[in-house]
Amino acid sequence: MFNRSNFIYFFCFLVLLSGCATQPNEPSDTPTSGEVNVVVDESFQQLFDTQIYTFQSLYPNAKVHAKYMSEKDALQRLINDSCKVVVMCRDLTPIERKNFEVSNLFPISTKIAEDAIAIVVHPENTDSSLTVENVKSILLGKDSVWSQVVKKSTLGKITIVFDNNGSANARYMQDTLLLGKSFSKNAFAVKSNPEVIDYVSHNKNAIGILSVNWISDLDDSITHNFLKKVKVLEIKKDSLSEGYKPFQAYIKTKDYPFTRDVFMINRQTRAGLGMGFVSFVAGDKGQLMILKAGLIPAIAPVRLVHINTN
């Protein structure tokens, strides 16, 4: 029989146990189950549609809610805690990390791939290659008509089209190539990489700046359709160098000049679904999909080959 004081202690224990079981803020997701919000740079929509489909097929209790938007908007979503994971073409800066640390948050960055920026023109454009300096002059507006770049060209004023405002492609070219200088007044943005291809295919004077991911998967019917509409230019480091297209081998060797790293940044530092999805993309299956998409995996997938000597 309980005495009065034992009963009080037992009752308090039940109250505490009940409170722990119904804690509303207790995380319910695991690395392979639950739900998580992810924001992906629009440049990698095709790739991550496949990654998410495969991940959810392997783990039916997991639901990855993905939104595709510009790099600028993706980072803002991460800061506002509207998502747990973002995919961007750069890592967080030291200042951005310090801003997270003020809130006692320590995002984990995982490099998943190496990517490149492709330069595309109309199929009837007679030029097949540009130097890095040519591209820089065009973006600055110093070379504003094609005859300044290509001798005997009959094309007129050059228009430059990016995928969207706040895009990683525009940010990369402005920061890395132009060293912060402003783009030509003939540069503008549409809303997506496919719209860049569509605009260039209908405008002979245009030059398009887009992620190579949209034109690199040669087994994909969408890629074949895009490559019928535009011409991908070779880029030379200087006038005496050989030109290279953004093929995997030349991205890896850095012979193609406009390359960059791709990161998944996870603010969910515990073992939740965000961490599980990042681990999947950075693992063998995810890296094989990156390889097939025409990008360079951050970690070369393990491939076992059996050789029969008989």
DSSP code string of 48-77:
HHHHHHHHHHH-TTEEEEEEEE-HHHHHHH
Assess contact for 209 and 197: CB atoms under 8 A.
no
At a CB cut-off of 8 Å and minimum separation 6, what does 178 contact? 136, 139, 140
3-state class (DSSP) for residue 272? coil
Query: Digits of tens for pLDDT over the chain (310 positions)?
Result: 445 444 344 434 433 444 444 345 556 889 999 999 999 999 899 899 999 999 999 999 999 999 999 999 999 999 999 999 999 999 999 999 999 999 888 999 999 999 999 999 999 888 889 999 999 999 999 988 876 666 655 567 899 999 988 889 999 999 999 999 999 999 999 998 899 999 999 999 999 999 998 888 766 777 778 888 899 999 999 989 999 999 999 999 999 999 999 999 999 878 899 999 999 999 999 999 999 988 999 986 545 555 666 6
Q: Give backbone dihedrals phi and psi of 35, rounded to 5 degrees, phi first.
A: -135, 150
Q: What is the pLDDT of residues 219-267, one digit of tens each?
A: 677 777 888 889 999 999 998 999 999 999 999 999 999 999 999 999 9
**In the CATH scheme, what is the homologous superfamily, with its name and number, of domain 115-259?**
Periplasmic binding protein-like II (3.40.190.10)
Q: DSSP 3-state assignment of 145? A: strand
**Residue 235, burial from CB neighbour count under 10 angstroms (0-12, 13-18, 19+):** buried
Name residue 232's beta-bridge partners: 120
Domains 34-114+261-297 and 115-259 share a fold: yes
Domain chopping of the chain, boundaries:
34-114+261-297, 115-259
Q: Which residues contact 106 (CB under 8 A, 6 or more apart)?
A: 100, 269
Question: How many angstroms separate the first and last alpha carbons of the chain?
Answer: 81
Helix axes of 221-229 and 193-202: crossing angle, nearest 10 degrees: 30
- Dist. CA 265–CA 84, nearest whole Å: 8
CATH class of 34-114+261-297: alpha beta
H or E element in which residue 211 lies: strand 206-211
Q: What is the pLDDT of residue 36?
A: 95
Per the CB < 8 A criterion, the answer to whether 264 and 112 are in contact is yes
The Cα 35–Cα 62 span in angstroms is 6
